[in-house]
Structure 1
Amino acid sequence: MQLGKKISNLEQLTYRYYRWIHALRISLAFLITYTVIRYFRLDGAVWILITLLIVMGPQPYWGNVFSRALQRTGGTVIGALSGLIALFLEIYSFPAMLLWCAVVMFVAGYLTLGKHPYMALLIGSTLAVVSCSPPNDMESALLRSLYVLTGSVLAMLYSSIYPQRAYTDWRITFSQSLGKLKHLYETSFSQKTLERPQLEEQLKDELDTILKLRNYIVPA
Structure 2
Amino acid sequence: MEGSRWRSWRILLTPYYLNLYARQAHVLRVAAAFLVGLALNLLFEIPHGSWMLVTILIVLGSVPHWGGVRRKALQRMGGSLLGAAAGLVAMALYRHSPLSCYLWMTALVMLSAWFALGKGEYLALLVGLTMVIVAGLGNEPVEAALWRGFNVLAGSLLGLVAAGLFPLRAIDSWRFLLADNLREAATLYSKIARRREVDAGLALERFNSRLIRMRALVAAAVQESGLPAAGFDAIQRRQRALCSLLDRMGEVAQDTPALSDGAEQRRAIVRTLMRAAHGMRFNQPAMLAEVLSEAVSPLALDKPSYCHWLTAEFNLVAEHLREDLALLLPSLMQVPPPSRGVLLMVWHWLSSASQGRSR
The reply to whether TM is greater than 0.5 is: yes
Distance in structure 1 (CA, Å) of the matches to 2:186 and 2:107: 57
Map 1:44-193; keep pairs closer than 5 Å: 44-132=48-136, 135=139, 137-191=141-195, 193=196
- Confirm or deny that 1:41 pairs with 2:30: no
Report the counterpart of residue 214 of structure 1 in structure 2: 215
Question: Which of 1 and 2 has higher RCO (CA within 8 Å, sep 6+)?
Answer: 1
Distance in structure 1 (CA, Å) of the matches to 2:144 and 2:189: 65
Q: Given residue 189 of structure 1, which amino acid in structure 2 is its aligned partner?
A: A
Distance in structure 1 (CA, Å) of the matches to 2:159 and 2:166: 13
Say whether the 8 Å CA contact 2:80–2:130 is kept in structure 1.
yes
Is the deviation greater in 40-49 or in 102-111?
Answer: 40-49
Say whether the 8 Å CA contact 1:133–1:140 is kept in structure 2.
no
Say whether the 8 Å CA contact 2:37–2:155 is kept in structure 1.
no
Distance in structure 2 (CA, Å) of the matches to 1:71 and 1:54: 12
Say whether the 8 Å CA contact 1:133–1:141 is kept in structure 2.
no
Q: What's the secondary structure of 2:165's corresponding residue?
A: coil
**What is the root-mean-square deviation of aligned Cα atoms in Å?**
1.9
Distance in structure 2 (CA, Å) of the matches to 1:49 and 1:183: 48
Shift of 1:197: 5.4
Say whether the 8 Å CA contact 2:115–2:124 is kept in structure 1.
yes
- How many equivalent residue pairs? 210
Q: Given residue 180 of structure 1, which amino acid in structure 2 is its aligned partner?
A: E
Shift of 1:136: 5.9
Report the counterpart of residue 28 of structure 1 in structure 2: 32
Distance in structure 1 (CA, Å) of the matches to 2:161 and 2:65: 13
Distance in structure 1 (CA, Å) of the matches to 2:65 and 2:175: 14
Is the deviation greater in 56-65 or in 95-104?
Answer: 56-65
Change (3 A) 1:180 1:203: same
Q: Which one has a bigger Cα radius of gyration?
A: 2
Q: What's the secondary structure of 2:220's corresponding residue?
A: coil
Per the normalisation by structure 2, the TM-score is: 0.55
Moved over 6 A (4+): none
Structure number with the higher helix fraction is 2
Distance in structure 1 (CA, Å) of the matches to 2:138 and 2:127: 20
Per the normalisation by structure 1, the TM-score is: 0.88
- Specify every segment of 5 or more residues in structure 1 that has no aligned partner in the other structure, as ranges: 1-7
- Specify every segment of 5 or more residues in structure 2 that has no aligned partner in the other structure, as ranges: 1-9, 222-359
1:120-165 deviation digits (Å, cap 9, x = unpaired): 1111110110011772621211111111111111111121114111
Say whether the 8 Å CA contact 2:94–2:138 is kept in structure 1.
no
Say whether the 8 Å CA contact 1:91–1:136 is kept in structure 2.
no
